[in-house]
Amino acid sequence: MKKHSWRISLHGGHSSAYCDHADDPLDTLVSAAVEAGFHTYGITEHAPRFRNEDLYAEELELGWTVETLLSQFEAYAAELDRLVQTHAHHLHLLKGFEAEVIPAESYKEKMLHLKNTLNFDYMVGSVHYVHEISIDYTQAHFEDALDRCGGLEKLAQAYYEHVQIMVEDLKPDIVGHFDLIRKLAGPAAELESPDVLRAAENALETIRETGCIVDVNTSPLRKGAPYPYPSPVFMKMIRHKNIPLSFGDDSHAAAHVGAGLPEARKYLLDHGIRLITNLVRVGGRIEKECIPLL
Ligand SMILES: [Zn+2]
Ligand SMILES: [Zn+2]
């Protein structure tokens, strides 16, 4: 069988009808993926949130409620089912979603319920909240999280502990943006202190044992950062542990589709990584497939 192209993305495709902070409709993003020559494109809209206090200010201004989020998410799953069929002849389109870790006491059951009842191909497990406070949304929320944890080093440590617990709870196919904690922290030595690196390595060990793929997420590149997630310090651990990697453009607009992918490929090659791992739907089941980067 002919090997597929490394042009894949398994995390992204956030779209305007289902996500308040995305810019283009879902069919436009899918058309952009076809035009960009993707072999596989995985769409992973954000899971709904289940408590009104977790809605963003922009969502409240739009008059949205938790019921709005859930019905939009169900409509998303149905539209994606249709798009998978209509594009089947030229794009391996996968139906996924990006899980949340809130509410802390019930996210596990809620996310697994969504995956099963709406018949998703796969799940990206992401941590956007530490102790239920958002860490990637506004600087004000990030400051709250810093106060709650007692500074950046403690927050980063808690973040990786949350990643480890999320992996144990959800066993996601893919772990999204492994070091997202760096997004609002800026360059800071605390992010690579011995305690933080130990917590991150523990999370990576659980990822390895669970068989998850780590998302090489290109969103920092389009915002001017020198490398994608995960940072070089984690690439060494990932290579040492032989953890599989996939690409994710984390697109929230058609212009983001495929952005940063060639740079991310070079980044992996520079770290001695020669294979990318894809997900393929075979007879209704999802299997891993390794694709050479060269
Ligand atoms: Zn988003
Ligand atoms: Zn995310």
Q: What is the distance in A from the centroid of ligand 1 to the CA of 272?
A: 30
Structure tokens at 284: 């209704």
Give the pLDDT band (50/70/90) at residue 97.
Answer: very high
Q: What is the distance in A from the centroid of ligand 2 to the CA of 245?
A: 16
Ligand with the closest atom to the CA of 248: 2
121-159 pLDDT, tens digit per residue, is 999 999 999 999 999 999 999 999 999 999 999 999 999
Q: What is the distance in A from the centroid of ligand 2 to the CA of 46?
A: 8
* C-alpha to C-alpha distance for 93 and 179, rounded to whole angstroms: 27
Residue 3: per-residue pLDDT: 63
Residue 266: phi, psi to the nearest 5?
-65, -40
State the total domains in the chain: 1
Give the mean model confidence (pLDDT) for residues 201-221: 98
Residue 255 carries which DSSP code?
A: G
Q: Is the pLDDT of residue 68 over 50?
A: yes
| Pairing assessment for the beta strands 174-175 and 122-125 based on DSSP bridges | parallel
* C-alpha to C-alpha distance for 15 and 48, rounded to whole angstroms: 14
Asked if the structure places residue 2 within a domain, the reply is no
Q: What is the distance in A from the centroid of ligand 2 to the CA of 180?
A: 8
Asked if the structure places residue 264 within a domain, the reply is yes
253-277 pLDDT, tens digit per residue, is 999 999 999 999 999 999 999 999 9
Range of the domain at 217: 8-292
Asked if the structure places residue 141 within a domain, the reply is yes
How high is the mean pLDDT of the chain? Answer: 96
Give the mean model confidence (pLDDT) for residues 212-228: 97
186 Rama sector, left if φ>0, alpha if ψ -120 to 50, beta otherwise = left
Residue 259: per-residue pLDDT: 97
Residue 95 carries which DSSP code?
A: E
Asked if the structure places residue 35 within a domain, the reply is yes
Residues 6+ apart with CB under 8 A from 257: 9, 12, 13, 29, 32, 33, 36, 38, 249, 251
Report the percentage of the chain scoring pLDDT > 90. 97
- Which residue has 């389109």 as its token pair? 93
153-200 pLDDT, tens digit per residue, is 999 999 999 999 999 999 999 999 999 999 999 899 999 999 999 999
Report the chain's C-alpha Rg in angstroms: 18
* C-alpha to C-alpha distance for 152 and 136, rounded to whole angstroms: 14
Ligand with the closest atom to the CA of 101: 2
Residue 4: per-residue pLDDT: 78
Q: What is the distance in A from the centroid of ligand 1 to the CA of 251?
A: 8
Q: What is the distance in A from the centroid of ligand 1 to the CA of 5?
A: 26
Q: What is the distance in A from the centroid of ligand 2 to the CA of 126?
A: 6
Asked if the structure places residue 231 within a domain, the reply is yes
Nearest to 113 by CA among 145, 70, 155: 70
Ligand with the closest atom to the CA of 135: 2
Residues, CB within 5 angstroms of ligand 1 (ion): 14
Residue 103: per-residue pLDDT: 97
Q: What is the distance in A from the centroid of ligand 1 to the CA of 2?
A: 34
Q: Is the pLDDT of residue 202 over 50?
A: yes
Q: What is the distance in A from the centroid of ligand 2 to the CA of 230?
A: 13
CATH number at residue 287: 3.20.20.140
Q: Is the pLDDT of residue 1 over 60?
A: no
Asked if the structure places residue 1 within a domain, the reply is no
- Which residue has 């979603």 as its token pair? 97
Residue 206: per-residue pLDDT: 98
Strand partners, 43: 95
24-38 pLDDT, tens digit per residue, is 999 999 999 999 999
Q: What is the distance in A from the centroid of ligand 2 to the CA of 44?
A: 9
Residue 2: per-residue pLDDT: 53
Asked if the structure places residue 256 within a domain, the reply is yes
The Cα angle at residue 116 between residues 113 and 121, in degrees rounded to 5? 130
Give the mean model confidence (pLDDT) for residues 69-95: 97
Please give the biggest Cα pair distance in the chain. Answer: 54
* C-alpha to C-alpha distance for 131 and 146, rounded to whole angstroms: 11
186 half-sphere exposure, CB direction, 13 A CA radius: 3
* C-alpha to C-alpha distance for 40 and 213, rounded to whole angstroms: 15
Task: Count other Cβ atoms within 10 Å, centred on residue 121.
Answer: 22
Residue 243: per-residue pLDDT: 98
Asked if the structure places residue 265 within a domain, the reply is yes
Q: What is the distance in A from the centroid of ligand 1 to the CA of 22?
A: 7
